[in-house]
């Protein structure tokens, strides 16, 4: 497993997007498009199915159980998950921080704590915590992918790809890892490699709509708008296809507008995958 010392990084601009809900997956900077980051969705839970219909009610229901037994790891994780779904990310971090102090040997808690830190924008600390959630002798490809995504958020793209490569050695052709790898290349403006990785992710993801849109954005940035639009709307109902194409054009127009103003030349922010 790669090991790296801390070096200050940077965080690219945030572009908000109602359509490209976070995957990982992971309002995070650079490759996140929503104010609700979730770049670490595979650390012990499924990204979409785990989201409650009533996040606030779910958080309230766990609050009393947590107060009655704040040191219970399972309750702390469930409560923090509900808090994150309700948008209370700082509170989720606080809950899991206390739980890890009470249970310092729990790798499951460390993974959840690292997830919450990443969701809250604490990327360097998230990376460090996640490094303690597994070992070189027993690596977890999901955590490796999340660590890579955190490094991408810090602008440390080459280091991030070492983590994706390590994850892919454990889980070859895993679409969530390939998706994050593609976004890493996109952030460093290497569009051919971004397209290659995202195509592989799309081919192995059962046509995940989030991967589809990320790939469409890359095609659009390469000047292949027709191909990008065709991908964004393929095999979808008319209303959803129209919305996808509109969102694609909106993202690409932000890039064009920034370029005409001589502003930020980074790629439009799109959603990383939780793994």
- Asked if residue 51 has pLDDT above 90, the reply is no
Residue 73 has pLDDT above 50, yes or no: yes
The answer to whether 142 touches 236, Cβ cutoff 8 Å, is no
Whether residue 58 is predicted with pLDDT greater than 80 in this model: the reply is yes
Look at residue 26 and give its three-state secondary structure.
coil
How is residue 126 written in tokens? 């998230």
CATH number of 12-41+141-275: 1.25.40.10
Confidence class of residue 209 from pLDDT cuts 50, 70 and 90?
confident
As annotated, the residues of the chain forming the CATH 1.25.40.10 domain(s) are 12-41+141-275, 44-132
Superfamily designation of domain 44-132: Tetratricopeptide repeat domain (1.25.40.10)
Q: Residue 204 burial (CB < 10 Å; 0-12/13-18/19+)?
A: middle
Per-residue pLDDT at 74 exceeds 70: yes
How wide is the angle at C-alpha 91 spanned by C-alphas 45 and 130, nearest 5°?
A: 50
For residue 138, list its beta bridge partners: 135
The pair of structure tokens assigned to 121 is: 């924008």
* Residue 43 pLDDT: 39
């Amino acid at each position: 497993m790669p090991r790296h010392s801390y070096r200050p990084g940077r965080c690219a601009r945030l572009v908000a997007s109602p359509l490209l809900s976070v995957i990982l997956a992971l309002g995070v900077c650079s490759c996140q498009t929503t104010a609700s980051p979730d770049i670490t969705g595979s650390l012990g839970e499924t990204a979409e199915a785990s989201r409650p219909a009533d996040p606030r009610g779910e958080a309230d229901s766990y609050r009393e159980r947590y107060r009655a037994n704040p040191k219970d790891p399972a309750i702390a994780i469930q409560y923090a998950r509900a808090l994150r779904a309700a948008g209370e990310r700082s509170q989720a971090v606080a809950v899991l921080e206390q739980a890890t102090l009470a249970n310092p040997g729990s790798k499951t808690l460390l993974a959840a704590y690292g997830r919450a830190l990443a969701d809250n924008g604490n990327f360097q600390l998230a990376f460090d915590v996640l490094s303690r959630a597994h070992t070189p002798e027993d690596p977890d490809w999901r955590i490796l992918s999340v660590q890579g995504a955190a490094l991408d958020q810090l602008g440390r793209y080459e280091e991030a790809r070492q983590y994706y490569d390590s994850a892919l050695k454990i889980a070859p052709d895993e679409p969530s890892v390939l998706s994050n790898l593609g976004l890493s290349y996109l952030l460093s403006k290497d569009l051919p490699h971004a397209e290659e990785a995202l195509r592989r992710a799309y081919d192995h993801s059962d046509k995940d709509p989030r991967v589809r849109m990320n790939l469409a954005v890359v095609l659009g940035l390469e000047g292949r708008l027709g191909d990008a639009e065709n991908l964004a709307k393929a095999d979808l109902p008319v209303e959803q296809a129209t919305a996808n194409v509109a969102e694609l054009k909106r993202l690409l127009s932000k890039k064009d507008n920034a370029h005409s103003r001589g502003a930020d030349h980074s790629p439009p922010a799109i959603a990383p995958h939780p793994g």
